[in-house]
Amino acid sequence: MTTGATIWLTGLPSAGKTTIAYELAGRLREEGHLVEVLDGDEIREFLTADLGFTRADRHTNVQRIGYLADLLARNGVKALVPVIAPYADSREAVRKRHGASGAAYLEVHVATPVEVCSQRDVKGLYAKQAAGEISGLTGVDDPYEAPASPDLRIESHTQTVQESAAALHALLTERGLA
């Protein structure tokens, strides 16, 4: 049986988290690993549609995703989790859950500057915020607490998606998870 793990990719909206996760997922599947990508947008649509974007709701969202990721990881799946998870205490609670269950957990900070994210603006969120159509955008008018000591920091604006995924794959290999 393959070893499961949760690989949590945190960062600002449009940082490249999901793109890197899917790139890595393809490579891991080719190597025979069981892989699931727990995309934050899909989770919000299908599992946590009842939650808003208050601090409490964001914390609950992260805890639900963390529970699901831990469940998958304990059962031999590599759970790739590209979710903003803006608060350090929420991410730490997920790490502790994994520690208690014995499942491997890696925190990856996709450290793309807000200026680059707003240029990419994959979902048009930065434009909507600038136009006053939305508020509470993480990293603009809502806090983002960057990880102090992630297992890996990826600066997606200085390398290709393939290079970012390769750096993450190298970490997994180093930790005996790939």
96-133 tens-digit pLDDT: 999 999 999 999 999 999 999 999 988 888 888 889 89
Which residues contribute to the annotated binding site? Answer: 11-18
Sign for the CA dihedral angle at 38, 60, 111, 115 comes to positive
Tokens of 13: 């909206």
pLDDT score for 72: 98
Instruction: Report the distance separating Cα 8 and Cα 81, nearest Å.
Output: 5
CB burial of residue 41 (10 Å; 0-12, 13-18, 19+): exposed
Q: What are the helix (H) ranges across the chain?
A: 17-30, 40-46, 55-74, 88-101, 114-120, 125-130, 161-174
Q: Report the predicted TM-score, pTM, of the whole model to 2 decimal places.
A: 0.94
Instruction: Report the distance separating Cα 78 and Cα 33, nearest Å.
Output: 7
pLDDT score for 136: 84
Domain boundaries, the chain: 5-175
CATH number of 5-175: 3.40.50.300
Instruction: Report the distance separating Cα 61 and Cα 38, nearest Å.
Output: 12
pLDDT score for 137: 87
Side-chain half-sphere exposure of 92, counting CA atoms within 13 A: 8
Residues of the chain with pLDDT under 50: none
Instruction: Report the distance separating Cα 75 and Cα 93, nearest Å.
Output: 20
Which residues contribute to the annotated binding site for ATP? Answer: 11-18
Tokens of 46: 């299908």
Over pLDDT 90: what percentage of the chain?
A: 83
